[in-house]
């Protein structure tokens, strides 16, 4: 039970309390303040003071350490492959082109009669014309 040497007061009535701040992975280029918490190589540290210096170090308190790997479990049975499915339908191919010379559009005519959007060609012809001079 407090008060005791193993206990310290973090906040008292009438005094401003300070809450720890979880930061990201430790970065030597970042300025840290008292009670900032950082991660480093599977461990966490909390800053003992403002500008605690390099982590780990005297300005940091170790909070937790990555545990050791557990023992390897038993290997499960190998699953079985299912039966091979039937081949799918052949992909449609282009049989011909429908050309709209007035609007500079070409539309592929597909072997399965599917609708395919027209392709705008005006910009391509304009570029060709400009480059030919």
| pLDDT tens, residue by residue, 104-129 | 999 999 999 988 999 999 999 999 99
User: Is 60 within a domain?
Assistant: yes
The domain that contains 50 carries what CATH number? Answer: 2.10.10
Pairing of strands 43-47, 36-40: antiparallel
User: Is 35 within a domain?
Assistant: yes
User: Is 89 within a domain?
Assistant: no
| Mean pLDDT of the region 19-31 | 95
pLDDT above 90 for 11: no
pLDDT, position 111: 93
What whole-number distance in Å separates Cα of residue 62 and Cα of residue 55?
10
Sign of the dihedral defined by the CA atoms of residues 34, 59, 24, 7, in that order: negative
| Mean pLDDT of the region 1-30 | 81
Structural domain containing residue 50: 21-64
Per the structure, how many domains does the chain have? 2
| pLDDT tens, residue by residue, 37-59 | 999 999 999 999 999 999 999 99
């Amino acid at each position: 039970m407090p008060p005791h040497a193993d206990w310290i007061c973090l906040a008292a009535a009438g005094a401003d309390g300070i809450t720890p701040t979880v930061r990201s992975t430790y970065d030597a280029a970042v300025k840290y303040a008292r009670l900032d918490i950082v991660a480093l190589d599977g461990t966490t540290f909390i800053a003992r003071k403002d500008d605690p210096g390099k982590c780990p170090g005297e300005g940091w308190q170790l909070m937790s350490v990555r545990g050791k790997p557990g023992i390897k479990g038993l290997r499960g049975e190998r699953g079985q492959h299912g039966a091979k499915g039937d081949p799918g339908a052949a992909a449609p191919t282009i049989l011909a082109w429908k050309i709209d010379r007035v609007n500079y559009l070409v539309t592929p005519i597909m072997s399965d009669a599917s609708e395919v959007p027209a392709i705008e060609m005006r910009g391509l012809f304009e570029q060709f014309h400009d480059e030919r001079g």
